[in-house]
Amino acid sequence: MPHRSIIEPFRIKSVQAIDLPSVEEREQALQRAGYNLFGLHADEVIIDLLTDSGTGAMSAQQWAGMMLGDESYAGARSFFKFEKTVKDITGFSEVIPTHQGRAAERILFANAVKEGDVVPSNTHFDTTRANVEYQGAEARDLVIAEGTDPAKVLPFKGNVDITALRATIDDVGVERIPMVMVTVTNNSGGGQPVSMANLRDVRAVCDEYSLPLILDACRFAENAWFIKLREHGYEDRTPREIAQEMFSLADGCTMSAKKDGLANIGGFVALNNAELAAKCRNLLILTEGFPTYGGLAGYDLEAIAVGLNEVLDENYLRYRIRSTEYLAEKVYAAGVPIVRPAGGHAVYLDAKGLLPHIPPEQYPAQALAVELYRNGGVRGVEIGSVMFGKPQPDGTDIPAAMELVRLAIPRRTYTQSHIDFVAEVVIDVAMGAAEIGGYRITEQAPWLRHFTARFEPV
């Protein structure tokens, strides 16, 4: 067969207009927002790559499903459809809906993590870390060393460092480890996948110490696709079978349906431990809602149930992973340093590599993110010392391991020419890198400061 492009496996049924504000409007917007791109109005952005969370386009099947939503307070039909779908994919016996992933984390950690505990993971996502710390515990990242080297090309850079995991458990004492978590794919580590072999090794350590293994499963389908592409023995397995095998190695998961649920809102905790699930449900009732809706409308549960099946479609996953890789290839070919290989949901620009003249305390990745908006109305997000730096009592920060700008690709939302436009903006900004200056923080919150901090140019 002659070469054929991997195309968007859908046609567009409903559109939303986008527009590029003028240079002056962008500059004013930046000043008003204190140079924090979370403070922009979405209408001030032409291509919004802030997040792939809840920003995807739903399918006609999902919208049709929403009309079937059963809004009964207790025992809604939509809940049972949702529950059945989650059970089919994960195999976990207890399914608890939540309004999004962080609610799942809070409910689980409030019942399973206590002060002084240590929760190991490959890399905790920001809300996961914050929710662990909120319980007075430590969130410890144990990704393999290559996982923090942006230039190193490896098939599974999201893997857990098994030696470090063992050492952590021995060092801290098993009684202070409430669970081991693994994030698939590893969002804060560049969207890099975790291999089945590594999950099996983590499982073996957990078995040895009788510890539960919880997956942060937000991008389970993308991780499954990478395993199919890259791990020997999985070439002929379906994404669903691979996902089922991944979940079979764990005791539970937290999930944001805003990612691989292909929904605009929603999440869940799923567990095998019925006693823990009962405690989680009690807390759910206090803050989210009755256990058969968990803070969601019946129609949201329908959309998630359909989305969780659509996300495992091979045509969808082939296009999804290829479209991210396409952006990465374009900017890398032009000499822009990025995390390689491309992650599943995002391309991560390496600001440390591109802006070596800006020290970490002047937030090079923040500077790069601001510049992408200033240049072309493209919004990405800083994943560096603003998000993960540790503020010290003397006002300085311990910098993050990497200074990245994440360009997250919403699911089924932008076309190839949109992505070409983004690549043009990135390359243009990179050409003028030497002129870009750093920022200082003028206001910040005690946790998750990146959402609301204000900056000024140094």
Ligand X SMILES: *Cc1c(COP(=O)(O)O)cnc(C)c1O
Which residues in this chain contact ligand X in the complex, by CB under 6 A? 53, 100-102, 125, 127-128, 183, 187, 216, 218, 256, 258-259, 267
Closest contact distance (angstroms) between CB of 230 and ligand X is: 20
**DSSP 8-state secondary structure symbol assigned to residue 210:** T
**DSSP 8-state secondary structure symbol assigned to residue 410:** -
Position of minimal CB gap to ligand X:
101
Give the contacts of 161 (CB within 8 A, at least 6 positions apart). 142, 143, 144, 145
Closest contact distance (angstroms) between CB of 127 and ligand X is: 4
Closest contact distance (angstroms) between CB of 269 and ligand X is: 12
User: Of 216 and 371, which CB lies nearer to ligand X in the complex structure?
Assistant: 216
Closest contact distance (angstroms) between CB of 185 and ligand X is: 8
Tell me which residue has tokens 């405690």.
279
Residue 295 region, left (φ>0) first, then alpha (ψ -120 to 50), else beta?
left
Tell me which residue has tokens 């608890």.
96
User: Of 100 and 366, which CB lies nearer to ligand X in the complex structure?
Assistant: 100
Q: How far apart are CA 20 and CA 33, in angstroms?
A: 17
Q: How far apart are CA 398 and CA 151, in angstroms?
A: 23
Closest contact distance (angstroms) between CB of 214 and ligand X is: 11
Pairing verdict, β 47-48 and 378-379: parallel
User: Of 268 and 414, which CB lies nearer to ligand X in the complex structure?
Assistant: 268
First to last CA, the chain: 56
| DSSP code string of 37-87 | GGGS-GGG-SEE-S-SSS-SPPPHHHHHHHHT----SSS-HHHHHHHHHHH
Closest contact distance (angstroms) between CB of 126 and ligand X is: 8
User: Of 72 and 413, which CB lies nearer to ligand X in the complex structure?
Assistant: 413
Closest contact distance (angstroms) between CB of 355 and ligand X is: 26
Cβ atoms 407, 45 nearer than 8 A: no
Q: How far apart are CA 143 and CA 139, in angstroms?
A: 12
**How many Cα atoms are found within 13 Å in the side-chain-facing hemisphere of 141?**
20
User: Of 128 and 198, which CB lies nearer to ligand X in the complex structure?
Assistant: 128
Closest contact distance (angstroms) between CB of 217 and ligand X is: 8
User: Of 234 and 268, which CB lies nearer to ligand X in the complex structure?
Assistant: 268
User: Of 100 and 324, which CB lies nearer to ligand X in the complex structure?
Assistant: 100
User: Of 36 and 131, which CB lies nearer to ligand X in the complex structure?
Assistant: 131
